[in-house]
Chains A and B, each alone.
Chain A
Amino acid sequence: MEPEQPSPDTEQESLHEEAHLPPPTFWPIGFAIGIVLILVGLIVNPELISSIGAVVAIVFGFLWFRDATRELRGEPVVVEPERREMKPTGEGTAAPAGSAPAAVEETAVTRSRFLEGATLGLGGLIGGLITIPVAGFAILPGFLNQKVHKVDLGPITGFPVGQWFIATFITDPVEGEISRRTAFIRNNGVVTNPNTKPSPSFTIISNRCAHLGCPVQANGPQGSILGKPTRHEHTLNGPLRLIPAIPAGYGCPCHGGQYDTEGNRTAGPPVRALDRYEFEINHGRLVLLSTYSVSHVVGTGGQAQIYKYKQYGPGQHVDGPEAWFYPLSPPMHG
């Protein structure tokens, strides 16, 4: 046999030779801490901390080097033999001695199974940590902190008793044109109620159709045909337009829903009466607040009895069995 040609045996030997890796040590960790101390010290305190870091790095580096080169220097390598504890075999199974390791693998969490679980678990955790805030940001802003906008419509003396106005106004000056809304407003005069002191009464109906939210129009003459000018004013919210009108009711251009002057549905697909605006009178000025939903209204003007509900979207029933379809409304108007 030629000496250059390695026999299968010597090849096996050399493989064994390569497998003699040094045992794991803690020295590299100390060495890394030393390097970190040097770098941190360069920013914080170069003289003190960096010197300590240098000492730590040199000491641990030396120990590491000594450990890693032990085999080269001819010192014996001490590697602890790998051991598995023998599990007692189950009763009645007179298993041969050779099958014991198999029994161990069945019951114990193996290394690969552990790594598999750890990878999936950590991956899921990281995925969740990223997804939850992102999904929250995508969804929650549309539901939380919904603002109520106050709309200043000018002094109430601008609204003669019994006269309807088609008022167009900006609800949110920051949003601008896109927040332009229209309401039908009538001053009902001062109403005396047995329970409260006399107070001004207004009927303020939103022009949003209770079917699918199209803009309902006043059915009847309006503006210059009545010989009354359209008023353009400027309030805190921006431009305000008041068109005098004599509506016989309201009609929707989209799908033909019809309402009477109190906003009760008279024909077509709407599921309830028109929404209304809450209002307050602040230093003699009419101020619109949030809207609310109405199932129907009995009576007219200041004597009207309004069946009032919290704000629902168009097309959603507020009363009757159909209202059971909408048990949970998203938060509106904060």
Chain B
Amino acid sequence: MTTYKRKPTKGELRSQRLEEVVMYPIDWLEERSGLIGGLRYFLFRKVPGDVNWMQTLGSAALTAFLVQAITGVILAMYYTPSAATDPHTGQPVAWLSIVNITDHLTMGWLVRGMHRWGASVFIILMFLHMARVFLFGAYKYPRELNWIVGVLILVMGMMEGFTGYLLPWDQTSYWATVVGINLNGTAPILGPWLAQFLRSGQEISGETLTRFYSLHMLVIPGGIIALITLHLYLVIRLGVTSPPWSKEAAGMEPSEDGHAPLRPGLTQPVPRGISPQGEPGGSE
């Protein structure tokens, strides 16, 4: 607490009071869980000084996933995964609920549009992020495992696309799913079994729709969330890589936290009697 040499004014007292009120719950939580410190460590950890905008593609993909998760949860409040025929209109119930979301419910068109187009944004951002990691060589030791985890997230993202495509239950989604499942069915040996598992029987039926719905909104997102958690843990543990053109990473320039250049000889003559410091990365 700040100590004043003079008597504090009313304004100072008030702001002091306010600070206490704000800090009390934060301190309470920190003392009992350490979560605030953990969050602070995550948000304010050190990254190389010469990172650039390309390195935000990962968090952009994460944001796209969160948009999918939130809009998906809301859409699930209005969508009905039923292949039954509505007796009044003669149309399938699932398709009618999509029509209702799109045409009748307030802002339904917007949230469904966010989910539908956001799906493509998510996949595209994952590919761009992957390209950045590849071109920067950020998949190399010790980050190979994180590359593998990232590939699994990409595969599960595509499974989300495949299972989500059936849900509008119109001609396009039905026949796309017929072809997609049969394509899986042509895989050697286990293909026919995989196809029959996805179909939940010999033919596409109402059970296929409910199965795809369950996979789309529960099973696969759960897997993606677990993998993203692992992915982020590895990012925090292993740190962010510098771009390949980084002079700092090559040891030619002093780093931001005041370390002397590791290889001064590359840019200037080494003064006699001074050897490069034994820093990690300085292999000379």
Contacts and interface: CB of A to CB of B under 8 A. Distances in A.
Nearest to A311: B202
Interface in B186-220: 186, 188-189, 191-193, 195-197, 199-207
Nearest to A334: B202
Contact of B185 (A141, A215, A315): A315
A254 B92 CA distance: 24
Interface string B168-198: 0000000100110111011011011101110
Nearest to A146: B202
Nearest to B203: A179
Contact of B182 (A215, A313, A333): A313
A326 B188 contact: yes
A306 interface: no
A314 B185 contact: yes
Nearest to B194: A330
Q: Is the interface of A mostly helix, strand, loop or mixed?
A: loop
B13 interface: no
B83 interface: yes
10 contacts: A141-B201, A142-B201, A146-B201, A178-B206, A311-B202, A313-B182, A316-B192, A325-B188, A328-B189, A330-B193
A254 to B, nearest CB: 6
Interface of A: 139, 141-143, 146, 171, 175-179, 212-215, 254, 311-316, 325-330, 332-333
Given A254-B175, A316-B192, A177 B185 contact: no
B270 interface: no
Contact of A329 (B192, B197, B205, B207): B192
B85 interface: yes
B183 A177 contact: no
B84 interface: yes
B205 A315 contact: no
Contact of A315 (B183, B197, B199): B183
B218 to A, nearest CB: 12
Contacts of B182: 212-213, 313-315
Given A143-B196, A314-B185, A316-B185, A333 B202 contact: yes
